[in-house]
Every structure is written in structure tokens, then in C-alpha cells.
Amino acid sequence: MGNGEELQQKQPPVVLTEEQRAGFEAGRVLLIDKPLHWTSFDVVRKIRGTIRIKKVGHAGTLDPLASGLLIVCTGKYTKKINEYMAQEKEYRGSFVLGAVTPTYDLESNPENHKDYSGVTIEQIDSAVKQLTGHIEQFPPIYSAIKKKGTPLYELARRGEEVELEARKIFIQSFEITSVELPVVNFKIVCSTGTYIRSIANDFGKIIGCGAYLSSLRRTRIGDFEVSHAVGMEDFWKI
């Protein structure tokens, strides 16, 4: 049982009225502040089980080690998922310099440690400029992208060799909010399909000492702000 499932079981059961269920069936857009360690599907499964309708889906995956805004649509509003998924995203988080991980984040252990003590603000600014605008990005091999129907992470875990293809993305803005080496804090506004984990890995390559994503929070999707989102214990009250 994963951490998300354990956290779900700790929550008290919710009993909805028929009027509430009918409202979810007619269609709702729920702004959820996804907890750490929950998968996006954990959130969908919890909501689906609570409101007892089949049509529930999310508009853009958040990794288990990321928190923040997850748009969930119910009932007839599931038709809007692609519309919301296409909107730009805003993230805040941190990179750690001086090592890499196979998953590009803390889902795997840091390795290939290198000295980061000589990294300068000029190097950091140069990396930011190279990773801003229209760029090509290789997704992490440990990702949910499918190859012939199989998620890449399953192939990677089986030790199979996977040939990745670069994807064109757009980084509208990339701001370094603070630096306390080896930690670099950032804010990024980007197009759909962007992997912030890959940004971390590429950032480390450019600087030369490696880097991995150590924290991530999605703060906005289009005009929807995480400040307007609710936790999993309160979604049914919306």
C-alpha cells in the first residue's frame, strides 16, 4: 500500500446527500490542493469513491512528491479536461546542486556527487537564460509517457533500454527566487507538457555539477490559483 492510500484510509467516511451527488453528476470543477505522497490518480480514486459516480478525471498529472493545484472534473464537466490541461502552469520549488538522481527528483537516491562550492550567480543566470523560451526537452525515463501502450517508468524499472524523443516546450518565465548553495529556489511559468524534473536535470548539466528537483508545488493553472483550492478532506463541501 502506498503512502497516498494510507493517508486516504485515515480520513473519516463521507456520506453525501442525493442532491449533492446529482450536482457532481451534472458537472463540477474542483480545485484540489494535492497532498504530498498522493498520486494524481489517488485523488481521482478518492473523489470517485466518495461521490459514487464514474466520470471523474484530472487535468494534468502532479508527481507524488509534488503538491499543489490539481484540477479535477466530475460528471459532464469531464469534457472540459483537455481545455484545462492545455493552459499554462506556474510552479515554485527548489533544485539541489552537486548530484543527480535516476528519476531527476527525490524518488530515487542522489548519486554522482560533485563539488558545487565554486558555482557562481553568473553561471546560474546563464543556465536560466538557456532554459527560457522555446526549447526542446527530453522527458525523464521514469515518467508516465507511454511507448506502445506501456508507461516509460515500467520499462525503466524492468531495465529495458528506452529511446527518448525530445519534445518542444515553452518556458515563459524562469525566475531564481533565492540561492543558498546547494539549494536553488525558483519560480517557473511554462507550457503544458513541461517536466520540471527535466529542467532540474538540464540545469545541473549546464552548470556542470549536476542537479535534481528537491521540492515542487504547482501554484497556478491558467487563471486558477492554488490559493482557491481545498484539501482532500473538504472537496465534497464545495
Query: Exposed/middle/buried for 187, CB within 10 Å: 0-12, 13-18, 19+?
Result: middle
How much is the pLDDT for 32? 96
Strand partners, 185: 94, 178
SS3 of 76-128: the string is HHHHHHHHHHCCCEEEEEEEEECCECCCCECCCCCECCCCCCCCCHHHHHHHH
The answer to whether 72 and 47 are in contact (CB under 8 A) is yes
Position of cell 481521482? 44
For the chain, the domains span 3-86+223-237, 89-221
Q: What are phi and psi of 73, to 5 degrees?
A: -110, 145
Q: Does the annotation count 63 as an active-site position?
A: yes
Kindly state the cell numbers that stand for 233.
478532506
The 10s digit of each residue's pLDDT in 188-231 is 999 999 999 999 999 999 999 999 999 999 999 999 999 999 99
The 10s digit of each residue's pLDDT in 131-154 is 999 999 988 876 666 666 666 666
Position of cell 507550457? 191
The 10s digit of each residue's pLDDT in 56-109 is 999 989 999 999 999 999 999 999 999 999 999 999 999 999 999 999 999 999
Query: Exposed/middle/buried for 93, CB within 10 Å: 0-12, 13-18, 19+?
Result: buried
User: Class assignment of domain 89-221?
Assistant: alpha beta
CATH 3.90.1300.10 fits 3-86+223-237, yes or no: no
Q: Which of 33, 63, 105, 202 is catalytic?
A: 63
Output the pTM of the full model. 0.87
Closest CA to 129 of 176, 182, 192, 92: 176
